[in-house]
Amino acid sequence: MPIPENKGLNILLIEDNPGDQVLVSDYLREEFPRLILETASDFNEAKNFLHKDTIQYKLILLDLSLPDIDHHSLLKEIITLAPNTPIIILTGHDDINIAIESLTLGYTDYLLKDDLTSKRLRKSITYAFERKHIDKQLETSVKRYHQLFQVNPQPIWVINSHTGNFIEVNNSALEKYGYTKDEFLKMKIQNIDKDYDEEKLRNHHTEGEILKNENLHKHKLKNGHEIQVKLYSNFIDYQGIDAILLMAIDLSETESYISQIENQNQQLKDIAWEQSHLVREPLTRMMGIISRLEEKHLDQLKNLDNEAAFLLKNALRSAHEIDDVIRSIVNRASNRKE
């Protein structure tokens, strides 16, 4: 990330030594022509500068030897007052413990005044902005991951790969299973899934691969009900812990839907059988009777008035049409089942 000096690099120098104030100021102006520099000689003055809403400092240079506060308290106070601002420590004491303490708290660099030059100071400032940019990107990435984890409509957990203990759980799992987050964090995956076999899953693990357990698992809800789920998982490092990201897809409703479809298909099959046997059987007899009447009384039909002959012939034709309709219904029902 480039140093933001297009509109002037606004820096707060917290330093009680007048000679060091001048030296650091000269080094800064040598490297940054568009410098805007404020100087505080003690902690109270620095605190007043940092409380001003009208000033947004891009960088803080901090001397640890101030007259109105010890360095331990100073480190904690300044990082609290300016948590999002890069802070570089300038000190005359080469103390490794203080250096470790400051860097652990989130300070970006630790420079000795005796070794300070304009080039070294610029290099440290450049590093400070780059580190802050990376930290911000990492923070954004963590927030985005957490949001995706929480808003996912499927139940998701992070579990300890060695013990099976739940480490993290999303809102969907809380709603689906009925447990609170505190209750989940006191449980293991085996408390809701007796068939869970992490070792079997691990034996088929490939780095970076999303693992799917082909077997259906029965998961027990807090209310005692059981649901059928399919599990998807991946081995991850979670805050230094060997963990598994585990997602459950509830198939209970799907299985119920499939069962309903199968029942409907069976009903169609029964209807097709009824159409084919119970309805067509009397219809076939009726068609046979009409055909027999035509054959046996053909001469008499010639002597009948035209209307009677017409009705008899159309009765047979209608019977054939009904038979065709029934055949079509049976065929469609058979195809639906398949």
Distance CA 14, CA 60 (A): 7
- Token digits of residue 75: 């480190």
Q: How confident is the model at residue 129, as a pLDDT?
A: 86
Q: How confident is the model at residue 312, as a pLDDT?
A: 64
Indicate if 24 and 141 belong to the same structural domain: yes
Contact between residue 311 and residue 319 where contact means Cβ atoms under 8 Å apart: no
Burial of 323 (0-12, 13-18, 19+ CB in 10 A): middle
Give the chain's count of helices (H) and strands (E).
12, 10
Domain boundary among 232, 250, 268: 250
Residues 196, 202, 206, CA angle at the centre, nearest 5°?
Answer: 135
Instruction: Answer whether residue 122 is part of any domain.
Output: yes
Amino acid present at 130: E
| Helix (H) or strand (E) segment spanning residue 312 | helix 306-337
The share of the chain scoring above pLDDT 90, in percent, equals: 32
Indicate if 208 and 269 belong to the same structural domain: no
- Token digits of residue 80: 């609290």
Indicate if 46 and 161 belong to the same structural domain: no
Instruction: Answer whether residue 4 is part of any domain.
Output: no
Whether the pLDDT of residue 137 is over 60: the answer is yes
Q: Kindly calculate the radius of gyration of the chain based on its CA atoms and give it in whole angstroms.
A: 42
Question: Model confidence over 200-223: pLDDT tens digits?
Answer: 555 544 444 455 555 688 899 999
Contact between residue 326 and residue 275 where contact means Cβ atoms under 8 Å apart: yes
CATH of the domain at 213: 3.30.450.20
The share of the chain scoring above pLDDT 70, in percent, equals: 73
User: Residue 38's pLDDT band (boundaries 50, 70, 90)?
Assistant: very high
Instruction: Answer whether residue 175 is part of any domain.
Output: yes
Q: How confident is the model at residue 338, as a pLDDT?
A: 45
Question: Model confidence over 143-159: pLDDT tens digits?
Answer: 777 777 888 889 999 99
Query: Lowest mean pLDDT: which of 121-130, 223-232, 289-298?
Result: 289-298
Domain boundary among 91, 125, 148: 148
Whether the pLDDT of residue 14 is over 90: the answer is yes
Instruction: Answer whether residue 142 is part of any domain.
Output: yes
Q: How confident is the model at residue 336, as a pLDDT?
A: 53
Q: How confident is the model at residue 49, as a pLDDT?
A: 92
Distance CA 107, CA 87 (A): 5
Distance CA 110, CA 98 (A): 9
Instruction: State the residue range of the domain holding 231.
Output: 153-250
Residue appearing with tokens 């004491």:
93
Residue appearing with tokens 């652990």:
104
| Helix (H) or strand (E) segment spanning residue 62 | strand 59-63
Residue 85 carries which DSSP code? S
Distance CA 104, CA 79 (A): 11
CATH of the domain at 107: 3.40.50.2300
Question: Model confidence over 173-207: pLDDT tens digits?
Answer: 999 999 999 999 999 999 999 877 766 555 544 44
Please give the C-alpha separations between residue 192 and each of 150, 179, 184, 254, 303, in angstroms, as whole numbers.
20, 11, 10, 20, 87
Distance CA 209, CA 265 (A): 39
Q: For the chain, how many structural domains are there in total?
A: 3
Q: How confident is the model at residue 40, as a pLDDT?
A: 94
Please give the C-alpha separations between residue 173 and each of 154, 168, 248, 252, in angstroms, as whole numbers.
7, 10, 9, 15
Whether the pLDDT of residue 256 is over 80: the answer is no
Q: How confident is the model at residue 60, as a pLDDT?
A: 94
Q: CB-hemisphere CA count at 13 Å for 69?
A: 21
Indicate if 263 and 245 belong to the same structural domain: no
Instruction: Answer whether residue 232 is part of any domain.
Output: yes
Whether the pLDDT of residue 11 is over 90: the answer is yes
Domain boundary among 116, 148, 180: 148
User: Residue 322's pLDDT band (boundaries 50, 70, 90)?
Assistant: confident
Indicate if 267 and 306 belong to the same structural domain: yes
Read off the pTM. 0.51
Q: How confident is the model at residue 337, as a pLDDT?
A: 46
Indicate if 166 and 289 belong to the same structural domain: no
Instruction: Answer whether residue 1 is part of any domain.
Output: no
